[in-house]
A and B are shown apart, each in its own frame.
Chain A
Amino acid sequence: MDGAPPLFFGAQMSGAEAERRMIVEVDRTLSSPARTIVPAGTRLLSLGDPVDRIWIVLDGQVQLTRTVDGREVVFHERTAGRLVGLLAMARGEPAYFDTTAVTDLTTITLTLEDLDRALRGNPVLESYFITVLLRSLARRHLRAVELRVEVDRLNRDLAADRDRLERALADLEAAQAQMVEQASMATLGQLAAGIGHELNNPIAAIQRAADFLTEDLAALVESAGADAPAGRFLQRALTRPPVSTRDEREQRRVMAEHVGDDDLARRLVAVGVGDSSEFEAVFGGLDAAHLEEALATVERYHGLGTSLRNIRSAAARIGGLTGSLRSYARPGRELTPGIDVREGIEETLLLLGHELRGIEVIREYDDVPGITVFAGQVNQVWTNLIHNAAREMGGAGTLTVRTAAVPEGVRVEVADTGPAIAPEHLEEVFDMHFTTHGGRVDFGLGLGLRLCKDIVARHGGSIEVESAPGDTRFIVTLPVEPPEGLEVS
């Protein structure tokens, strides 16, 4: 024997050398304990088993595993070391791992008593044993550090993947919403154009029928006797512009003073007799019974004329609307040259008339060159901008539409006097689903302005927004010629 080596002298020798010397000392102290051959696949220890012996693995490979969520996870194989079961046994705890022979093993099995005896009797063995144990623990510890680093990296990769997926999903949803919106707009456009077309015939028939009725009635009245004022009342009701309700009340006051009867004054003004000289000319000198009879007849003729006039003016309005509808919703399949943006804007203003009640519309139209665009799509831009402006003003305010020729092509400005968009939101208004609370609220489906931006960008133009309280402007610039290769959508 060479005398007791210093405690960590094993640190200077290779791990294999320390293991070899440890086994030599075991053999020397315990009179060469028996070698056991353990076939590959044998389970040496199971998780939770009490550990009453250790295995010194002379040859072969073991694997330390645990079952996590039904799957076997390998914790140590290369890093398992030559001493199996020592840690648990030393601490008197059950096995930490399932330990299995990967290859056929040559082992020495030592019980706690064997080991105790050997270590007590041989300080050299104790030193080698500690060296081997320390190296084994160090390897396992390093392995644990590696695993931790690996888990960390995987977590980061996963988070990055998740972010990418979330973004991709949001983009897909946005694209889908936009496609649905565009498809439904296209369908609605076709439907509107179709309805506009279909309405032409009935509206033409109504207009013509009203004209014929007017002619026939005039002829009838004439043949019935020209002395009656009936024809004159019919004609007047047909042609007289509507009188405001204010003016009517004023006339009633005047007539009530003249005839001394509120109800009579009311009926007279209703048939357009608004001053005393006319009353005298038509009804002067009649006694009450004859006055009533004459007035009743006049009321009939006046009613006829008013109804005919109303039919004609209502039909003319429908005709104007259907005309606008057809040209506004013109199928967006073809690039059309020479489009005057002012026409599209005018049609839009007409069709959105119901939203613009109470709003003053100012047109500042400079001459602009005709541009080549998908007219239906560009009309959608005006519609969205004007609709938004009207909504922001809530039924009272001023909408200003300006057009101008600029070096890049045509510039259109839609300005409203509604509340300002907060500066920090200016960038976002063209985003999908942008909404604000308080101040300017959500924009329709949240798609309107995004669609505008897409349509304008496709045509090679730009859209910007400037906003101050009482003055918010959306500015669209479109080139005269669109970029090469522009397609429907």
Chain B
Amino acid sequence: MSEIAILVVEDEPEVRDAVVRDLAPFAHHFRIEAAEDVADARAVLQELAEQRVPVGLILCDHLLPGTLGTDFLVELHAGEATRATRKVLLTGQAGLDDTVRAINEAGLDYYIAKPWTPDGLQEAVRHELTEFVLGGDFDVLGYVVVLDGPRLVAAAADRDWEGRRI
């Protein structure tokens, strides 16, 4: 099943590898995409849009070549297709001003400081994706094993068998 994508934007290959590997528990249920800069991330988003795969979560570094992660998140928040996407900054360098801007203007959902722990990262991702799934017309029961099961089961009572809210 890969009807929802996770996008990781990180320019350093070693760090990107590590993030993607720490997302392994989600790999069977979500499509994990990686991009090394903002231009590349836009190409991925374009491709996903063409395939009608919604982006559930974006994990974005702050200092990226040429663009700040915060600016990119602001841009995504303004776009219709990515407004609902859960947005997480994964960074060691965002200052207070940038972070405040990310929260106020990009609807930043979570901030993970580097170095991260796998548990912390997975917990944050699980929570954010649960929010995303509950916010849309998805088959919530399909994610019970990988996301926040109890919340999804409780929510399933309010949905038809295709996941639409009734």
Residues of chain A touching chain B, judged by Cβ–Cβ distance below 8 Å, are 242, 244-246, 248-249, 262-263, 303, 306-307, 310, 313-314, 354, 357-358, 395-396
Contact = CB atoms under 8 A, between A and B. Distances in A.
A249 B66 contact: no
A167 to B, nearest CB: 35
B21 interface: yes
Contact of B63 (A248, A249, A314, A357): A357
A60 to B, nearest CB: 80
A272 to B, nearest CB: 12
B64 A357 contact: yes
Contacts of A242: 13
B36 A303 contact: no
Interface stretch (B40-48, B77-85, B117-125): B40-48
Contact of B34 (A245, A313, A314, A354): A245
Contacts of B162: none
B18 interface: yes
B35 A245 contact: yes
B47 A249 contact: yes
Interface residues of B, number: 22
A358 B65 contact: yes
Contacts of A395: 66-68
Interface in B1-38: 2, 11, 13-14, 16-18, 21, 34-36
B14 A313 contact: yes
A299 to B, nearest CB: 10
B17 A306 contact: yes
17 contacts: A245-B40, A246-B36, A249-B44, A303-B21, A307-B17, A310-B13, A310-B14, A310-B17, A313-B14, A314-B14, A354-B93, A358-B64, A358-B66, A358-B67, A395-B66, A395-B67, A396-B66
Given A249-B47, A357-B65, 19 more contacts: A242-B13, A244-B36, A245-B34, A245-B35, A245-B36, A245-B40, A246-B36, A246-B40, A248-B34, A249-B43, A306-B17, A310-B14, A310-B17, A357-B64, A358-B64, A358-B66, A358-B67, A395-B68, A396-B66
A357 B93 CA distance: 12
Contacts of A357: 11, 63-66
Interface of A is mostly: helix
Closest 4 pairs between A and B when the two form their complex, measured CB to CB: A242-B13, A358-B66, A310-B14, A245-B36
A246 B43 CA distance: 9
A195 to B, nearest CB: 17
Interface of B: 2, 11, 13-14, 16-18, 21, 34-36, 40, 43-44, 47, 63-68, 93
B50 to A, nearest CB: 12
Interface centre among B13, B64, B65, B66 (most CB of A within 10 A): B13
A354 B14 contact: no
Contacts of B35: 245
A263 B21 CA distance: 16
A242 B12 CA distance: 10
Contacts of B11: 357
A351 to B, nearest CB: 14
Nearest to A253: B47
Given A245-B40, A310-B18, A314-B14, A263 B68 contact: no
Contacts of B2: 262-263
Contacts of A306: 17
Nearest to B35: A245
Q: Which of A313, A358, A396 has the most CB of B within 10 A?
A: A358
A245 B7 CA distance: 12
A307 B67 CA distance: 28
A263 B32 CA distance: 10
Nearest to B8: A245
Contacts of B43: 246, 249
Contacts of B68: 395
Counting chain A CB atoms within 10 Å of each CB, which of B2, B14, B18, B67 scores highest?
Answer: B14
B4 to A, nearest CB: 14
Contacts of A249: 43-44, 47
Contacts of A396: 66
Contacts of A246: 36, 40, 43
B47 to A, nearest CB: 7
Contacts of A263: 2
Contacts of B21: 303
Contacts of A248: 34
Contacts of B16: 245
A245 B65 CA distance: 14
B74 to A, nearest CB: 14
Nearest to B10: A245
A151 B40 CA distance: 77
A358 B40 CA distance: 14
Nearest to A246: B40
B35 to A, nearest CB: 5
A307 B14 CA distance: 8
Contacts of B34: 245, 248
Nearest to A267: B27
Contacts of B66: 357-358, 395-396
